Structure 1
């Protein structure tokens, strides 16, 4: 009897276990119908939208070409040529010189008029100037005069250098500028240099780095884009590139020890813009000056020095270019070499010729549309980084800026 009960109990256990397993299997099969396939996702992952690329994708070729240029004006008011450059050619920005500026109110109104004229363009303007202090100063005379860079380098005080940059930034911002072509990072190593001189902070890399980088940081702390210049270095020349083409016969190793050192430090500090000088370096490129050289712009600046920011030409209407090259072909060579933004300061006809030549080269395929879009991306990214807008400025408090300037001057000349 005991064995009989034992067999009955064992049989019941086997039957119950089988039922349980069948129920679990049934539940699993039921659940499996509602589980997503392992290779699919239940919810679509939405990638972050690249708004800059979206803008570029919706731009016409003419609009793209226009953004590659910053141009000069003929007078101190907007004229018909200016309106054509804005309305027809969608130009990316303007540069003002002393002859464009007569007083504070006129400058304020001119910049406001440029912004108004650009109101139909969703992309704001670069509004630029060369404001270095010393003899290279374009601002109205109502601003107290700042000493040249050399004076700042001679003092070699970090706080003064930083404040010097901030004062420059505040002045430009008060009028509506958003980009400054400065400071100069050239090392003034040649006493016979006719163009740099006291525009440089000094004749040693230590002085230029120790002061120039702080001035750059001070300027951009006021939300002004600071474009350092003149890469790879204009300090050891005996020719003025405004008049003709300077030549520097140095090997790359020599350049790294002197000329390139301040720019390398600037790149480490994430400088937003670097201006290329019109200088021939035969040991790097015996055919083209730096402005037109793939060896200098792409292989040296982009690849060796790992610079990812905006690359700007010096004024393409300077003697170094127009005495030795066809201006529109030189402009195209700058873009082919890896440059982004062309500076065309003088001559309405020069601006038109360059625009037409760039379009022709793009249509021929010698400038690839992918390369064009890469340049556009860097330009628009910088405008977005500084949150540039074509907002009008109603008034300026020049007294408060001059008060701060006077305090700085007292520290400089004490």
Structure 2
């Protein structure tokens, strides 16, 4: 299923702050399409720039380099970067003044994206589109608001800032992680709500952002919604193709969350998880930590048929990464965040 001159479906993690010989060989394999950075890979802006340049020099088209840079608890790049408040902060400001909350969210999205682009990171897996329903501690203040329309508005403003800085966005965790207590990193959450209930709540931000043409990428959740499918959404053709692409009309990239999470274990070992997610409708899958299993994952993917549509969507995301905003616009955004 691999094409030498195309980005592959695998997003992989790295061990340290520099590429090892084994990692260089892995990243040159056509099965790989991107890299995700974690705190273990990050020290200073100069070191990140050197790492991303070494990654970029391995392939053409260049591999996509990503990171989780939401702000608050989930901000991998810290030293030399603006410390962003959690999404819930913008929700609080929005409650006081909608205009002020939206302006701040846009400024944060712009500053975040501009700083990452300067060190060679192509996109952040942000913003979170989950609702803060008071159930999920792993989400909590990572969500903008409890009201779906407010989440749609604030996330849309954040995305406007990202786009102004030349960075595509990722909405997560589709169809929603806010309605369950367990953490899908550690367990397999089950959400008993019906599709009608989800359409009035968790799906609203996706519907609004897709309709507005703002959502570049969606990351799926390892959560079961038995009213629609017995499989977690990341492995569900119902959720990815029938609901996200069919009902909501999403034409962007679908990424399955880290396959090493416990919520993904229900479908089998890592090779099985990767093939099942891609065959169900994902365009890319993440294997963030289990590098010793990568040969088996690649071998399993090599037996699967090529997907020209997924290849095209991966390239469109690559093409969506553009130049940074004018310095004057970034300065205004920084000033607004300091107020």
- Report the TM-score, using the length of structure 2 for normalisation: 0.91
Cα separation, 2, equivalents of 1:351 and 1:340: 18
1:73 deviates by 0.4
Aligned to 2:98: none
What are the equivalent positions in structure 2 for 1:32-181 lying under 5 Å apart?
Answer: 61=2, 63=4, 67-89=8-30, 91-118=32-59, 122-156=60-94, 157-181=101-125
Indicate conservation of the 8 Å contact 1:167/1:401, yes or no.
no
Partner SS, residue 225 of structure 1:
coil
Cα separation, 2, equivalents of 1:61 and 1:341: 13
Cα separation, 1, equivalents of 2:192 and 2:38: 32
Per-residue CA deviation, residues 127-159 of structure 1 (Å, 9 max, x unaligned), is 101000111001132223111000011101221
Aligned to 1:368: none
Greater Rg, structure 1 or structure 2?
A: 1
What are the equivalent positions in structure 2 for 1:354-373 lying under 5 Å apart?
Answer: 354-362=297-305, 372-373=307-308
Structure 2 unmatched ranges of 5 or more = 95-100
Indicate conservation of the 8 Å contact 2:7/2:311, yes or no.
no
What are the equivalent positions in structure 2 for 1:223-234 lying under 5 Å apart?
Answer: 223-234=166-177
Indicate conservation of the 8 Å contact 1:148/1:198, yes or no.
yes
Indicate conservation of the 8 Å contact 1:65/1:358, yes or no.
no
- Alpha-carbon RMSD across the aligned residues, in angstroms, is 2.3
Cα separation, 1, equivalents of 2:295 and 2:163: 32
Cα separation, 1, equivalents of 2:250 and 2:334: 37
What are the equivalent positions in structure 2 for 1:1-16 lying under 5 Å apart?
Answer: none
Per-residue CA deviation, residues 58-82 of structure 1 (Å, 9 max, x unaligned), is xx83537861111110111010121
Count of residue pairs brought into register by the alignment: 330
Q: Name the one with the larger helix percent.
A: 1
1:259 deviates by 0.6
Per-residue CA deviation, residues 39-88 of structure 1 (Å, 9 max, x unaligned), is xxxxxxxxxxxxxxxxxxxxx83537861111110111010121111234
1:163 deviates by 1.0
- Residue 235 (structure 2) pairs with residue 292 (structure 1): yes
Partner SS, residue 75 of structure 2:
coil
Distance verdict in 2 for CA 1:66–1:407, change over 3 Å: closer
Aligned to 1:15: none
Distance verdict in 2 for CA 1:358–1:211, change over 3 Å: same
Distance verdict in 2 for CA 1:236–1:170, change over 3 Å: same
- Greater Cα offset, 274-283 or 324-333: 324-333
Aligned to 2:272: 329
- Residue 282 (structure 2) pairs with residue 282 (structure 1): no
Cα separation, 2, equivalents of 1:402 and 1:380: 27
Cα separation, 2, equivalents of 1:70 and 1:305: 25
1:89 deviates by 4.0
Distance verdict in 2 for CA 1:253–1:331, change over 3 Å: same
Aligned to 2:200: 257
- Residue 149 (structure 2) pairs with residue 206 (structure 1): yes
Cα separation, 1, equivalents of 2:143 and 2:185: 17
Indicate conservation of the 8 Å contact 2:2/2:8, yes or no.
no
1:385 deviates by 3.8
Per-residue CA deviation, residues 367-393 of structure 1 (Å, 9 max, x unaligned), is xxxx611111111122234359xxxxx
Aligned to 1:409: 337
Indicate conservation of the 8 Å contact 1:201/1:208, yes or no.
yes
Cα separation, 2, equivalents of 1:232 and 1:326: 24
Partner SS, residue 329 of structure 1:
helix
Cα separation, 2, equivalents of 1:386 and 1:410: 27
Aligned to 1:7: none
Cα separation, 2, equivalents of 1:175 and 1:405: 19
Distance verdict in 2 for CA 1:64–1:123, change over 3 Å: closer
- Report the TM-score, using the length of structure 1 for normalisation: 0.75
Cα separation, 2, equivalents of 1:83 and 1:403: 37
Distance verdict in 2 for CA 1:266–1:163, change over 3 Å: same
Structure 1 unmatched ranges of 5 or more = 1-59, 363-370, 389-395
Cα separation, 2, equivalents of 1:144 and 1:401: 16
Indicate conservation of the 8 Å contact 1:94/1:128, yes or no.
yes
Aligned to 2:282: 339
